[in-house]
Amino acid sequence: MSSIALFGKPKGLMLSLMLKLVRLDKKFHTDKESLEVLEKTDSTMVEFCINPPTELTSDVDYVVIFGSNGQEKIEVSPLTYKYSVYIDSSPVHNNLHDCFIQISDLIPSHAEDELASADLRLLDSVPSDIALNKQHWWVGEVDVIEALSTILSKPNYIMAHSNIHICGRRSWKFKDILSEYELLINRTQDGQTGHFSPENLANPRPPGIELQELGTGLVKLESMDEIEELRIEELTLPTRPNLGPLHSVLKEINGEGWRQTQPIRQALMIYLASLV
């Protein structure tokens, strides 16, 4: 069995991934700081799991590095490793690692997660018209963690790909996600007062989003009005990141490929709870 070590700031996505691996009884190593945070977060689960994580004391087959903090840790570590996987939300020129996993449009469970989409901060502001119509491929943390834990169960499968992208399969305009967020804010405020308005309890019509093929391509238009708008303004909508490598790797491992199961509204609810 391949040995794996995780390096990064022990919070947000990395902490969630460590907790997931512990629940799955998948052995991994990490540094002392991360191990202490993990044990403090759920000491019972760590104590009674079959393959508890351990502090890194020897060389490993794979290292998984989360962002700049993880890179700083690995650079001062004396260990050696065969393969490295770098995870970040910003595009990088991958010439240091065997595989780069870029996560785009992440809705995290912790608002302070460094890998969260930077545009989430606009939810509590007054976005410009350009920002409101910007296309996003939102994905909740639950689905990202599921994908990463599956990949780490058989990490040799990703070595055929130097770059893997993780994001949602559906396109959302920012104004659609803002509408969802405002609905959840209003419901939260109603819950605090005990007075619920009918409009906040109503289940609104979902935004006009469409599923895209797993490869690259133009975003599918949502309505005849938008088609006419495209004709008038001659605008070209952005392409979605290529999910082909991600789907291919996951399908080889679990036979299913990249499937999102967490509704975006649920991901937003968890994100909002971390702000309250």
pLDDT of residue 216: 46
Report d(CA 28, CA 167) in Å as an integer. 25
- Average pLDDT value for residue range 191-203: 55
In this structure, how many other beta carbons lie within 10 angstroms of the beta carbon of residue 153? 15
Picking from 125-129, 153-157, 173-177, 215-219, which range would have the lowest pLDDT averaged per residue? 215-219
Picking from 126-135, 256-265, 267-276, which range would have the lowest pLDDT averaged per residue? 126-135
Report the mean per-residue pLDDT for the chain: 82
Q: Of 29, 42, 20, nearest to 2 (Cα)?
A: 29
Residue tagged 């260990």 (tokens): 79
Give the count of alpha carbons within 13 A of 212, CB side only.
Answer: 26
Instruction: Tell me the Ramachandran region of residue 136: left when phi exceeds 0, alpha when psi lies from -120 to 50, beta otherwise.
Output: beta
Is the sign of the CA dihedral 30, 36, 39, 42 positive or negative?
A: negative
pLDDT at 211 over 60: no
Torsion of Cα atoms, 89 then 114 then 29 then 87, to 10°: 10
pLDDT of residue 118: 87
pLDDT band at 233 (very low <50, low <70, confident <90, very high): very low
Global pTM value: 0.82
Reported as a single tens digit per residue, the pLDDT across 115-143 is 999 888 878 776 777 778 888 899 999 99
pLDDT of residue 234: 39
pLDDT of residue 193: 60
pLDDT at 102 over 80: yes
pLDDT band at 206 (very low <50, low <70, confident <90, very high): low
pLDDT at 252 over 50: yes
Strand partners of residue 106 = 139
Q: Of 222, 245, 225, 241, nearest to 233 (Cα)?
A: 225
Query: Looking at the chain, how many residues does it have?
Result: 276
pLDDT of residue 203: 59
pLDDT of residue 236: 44
29: exposed, middle or buried (C-beta count within 10 Å: 0-12, 13-18, 19+)? buried
pLDDT at 199 over 70: no
pLDDT at 226 over 80: no
